[in-house]
Structures are given as C-alpha cells and as structure tokens.
Amino acid sequence: MDGDRETVRIRQLDAFTTEPMAGNPAGIVPDAEGLADDQLQAIAREMAVSETAFLLADDGDADRRIRYFTPTQEIDLCGHATIAVFAYLFEDGAIEAGTTSLETNVGTLEITVEDDGTVWMTQDAPRIREVDLSYDRLADALGVDAAALEGASADLPLAVSSTGAPALMAPITYLSDVGAADPDPSAVEAITDDLEAIGIYLFTFDALDGDSTLHGRFFAPGAGVPEDPVTGTASGAVAAYLDRFGAFDEFPEEVRLEQGHYVDRPGIVRVRLEDGRGVRVGGRALTTLEGSMVVPETSEDEILEA
C-alpha cells in the first residue's frame, strides 16, 4: 500500500530478444484480480508500451487467463506480451519448463516453455481473406512506391491474415522499400478500419541476416501503436499467409522473422507450422524493469449522485 492507495506489482520485459533495450517491451501486471476495466486501461496507458498483459486466474479449464491492453484499447491477443508473461513466470520460478494452458479472448492456447527459457505459444487457427484494395491507396498510406508493392504481388496478393489478431499482409520488393516507409497514421487507420484489421504488416524477403526468412514492420495507429517493434501475432499471421499462398516449394521447418531495426529495437520471432497447419510462435524475453504502481480509482467511484 502507498498510504491509503492500493498498489499493484508491475514488470516490463523485452520480448523476442536476449538483450536489454531491444525487441518489444511489454508491460505485465502479475496479479490483476479485482481490477475494473477502466483501471486496466489506465494502467496500460501509464505503462506506455504497445501492450500490457494482465494476469488473472482462469475460472474455466485453463491454468491462467490474460487480458491485453494497448494504451488506448483492449485487444484479443498479443504475441510478444504472452511470450513476456511466461518468460517472467519461468524466471520467477512460478512455473517449470513444460506445457501449460492459457485462456485469452480468442480461446484457450497452449504454451510451452523450454529449459533455456524459450517460450512457444500456439495461436488461433489461421483465417485469411484476400481484400479489394488499390496499391496506390496502400502506397500513399505507407509512404512507399506503389510499383514496389505491385512488384511483390505476383504470387502474394494483399490479404488480411489472422491467427488471433487480423493484420493486412503487404509484401514489398526490397529492404530499402521497407526502411523508407513513412506512414500517414490517419490513412493507415482508415485502411485498417475499412478492412477490419488491427494494423498493416509490411515485409520483404530481402532480409538483413542470411538466416532470416523476411524483414517486417508493423503499423497499428488505430490501436494506439504507431509502429510496433517486434510483433508476435503478425509474425504468426504472415507465416500462415505465406503457407496459404505457396510462397515456398516446401515450407521451412522454422521461419525467422526480423523486425524492429528501424525503431532501434531489433528482435527475432521464430515461427513453426504444425502438420495440421497450426501456428506456433516462439522467442525469449528478459526483465528490464520492476516495481509497483498506484491503482487509479475506477470511474464508478467518481460518479456523483443527483
């Protein structure tokens, strides 16, 4: 307690990296029981990272439940925050290596933690739909050359792919095209609203590292995230998309996705497709901040009776 005020423990972990101040920072509230929705949102806004995960006891068949909030809204699933939560639980000794279950707004997911702390999460069954969107409109929104988008479109159409959070998949020709992107947030938000997607995943096979499959950037201003450093849900979604449209003669046993370099938060997401084409996203995470936060009063406490 802080005087008369309730406090909660908070953590911040960098996910999809083993180096501090890299990858994607996620906020964690390890015990969010009893907090109202507006309190969860206020804490996420104060944490000021792309997503904060609130850990709850599950009242169903799963071992745990997580709710995810950006600074502006609740979302159904967040890959990097999930990796961060289970890396924290493993680091804290709350769980051992092995498999556990997690309840989210998209359903129950399987989480596996390896002996070295690598966390693997299953994602929702892929849902993919092609969209009617002009390359000129998309290019204007992303601040890229329309010809560079069309040049990558021979076998890979514009489509919204989801393994828990829908994202527009936008292949482009070269790494320089990805790096030069200068999005117009309002135009990006208008497209994602029209397509019922959270954001746009711009990617190229022209990666920095020879061991990497592709390099991506993810823009989600409508969810309060102008650019997400390293995105687990979009990584799972792009792997399912590449499988759906036959990007490889034989799909790799594991794909490695680079992201975050253009915001100075580089990270790597590992993705595997199971025989039934289920999607598993994996990575490491480490704690970079721990402390406590005063819980704000709920809006209900502020209602005045007439």
Domain check: are 62 and 142 in the same one? Answer: no
Which is nearest to 278 in space by CA: 149, 155, 109? 109
Q: Is residue 303 part of a domain?
A: no
Query: Model pTM?
Result: 0.91
Domain count, the chain: 2
Residues 239 and 128 sit within 8 Å (Cβ to Cβ): no
Give the tens place of pLDDT for each residue, 79-132.
999 999 999 999 999 999 999 999 999 999 999 999 999 999 999 899 999 999
C-alpha separations of 57 from 18, 171, 291 in Å: 28, 40, 21
What residue ranges in the chain does DSSP mark as E strands? 7-15, 24-29, 51-57, 64-69, 74-75, 98-104, 107-113, 119-122, 127-130, 159-162, 167-171, 199-204, 214-220, 225-228, 255-259, 267-273, 279-283, 285-294
Domain check: are 102 and 149 in the same one? Answer: no
Encoded amino acid at 42, one letter: A
Domain check: are 141 and 114 in the same one? Answer: no
Give the tens place of pLDDT for each residue, 243-266.
999 999 999 999 999 999 999 999
Q: Which are the catalytic amino acids?
A: 51
What pLDDT does residue 301 have? 53
Strands 51-57 and 64-69: antiparallel
Domain check: are 137 and 214 in the same one? Answer: yes
Q: Is residue 221 part of a domain?
A: yes
Domain check: are 265 and 229 in the same one? Answer: yes
Domain check: are 14 and 94 in the same one? Answer: yes
For 83, the domain range is 7-118+286-298
Domain check: are 83 and 156 in the same one? Answer: no
CA distance 85 to 55: 8
Domain check: are 131 and 104 in the same one? Answer: no
Encoded amino acid at 60, one letter: G
Domain check: are 173 and 230 in the same one? Answer: yes
What pLDDT does residue 275 have? 82
Range with the lowest mean pLDDT among 56-65, 132-141, 185-194?
56-65
Domain check: are 131 and 273 in the same one? Answer: yes
Q: Is residue 305 part of a domain?
A: no
What pLDDT does residue 258 have? 98
Can you give the CATH number for the domain in which 110 is found? 3.10.310.10
Domain check: are 263 and 142 in the same one? Answer: yes
Q: Is residue 54 part of a domain?
A: yes
Domain check: are 74 and 196 in the same one? Answer: no
Q: Is residue 1 part of a domain?
A: no
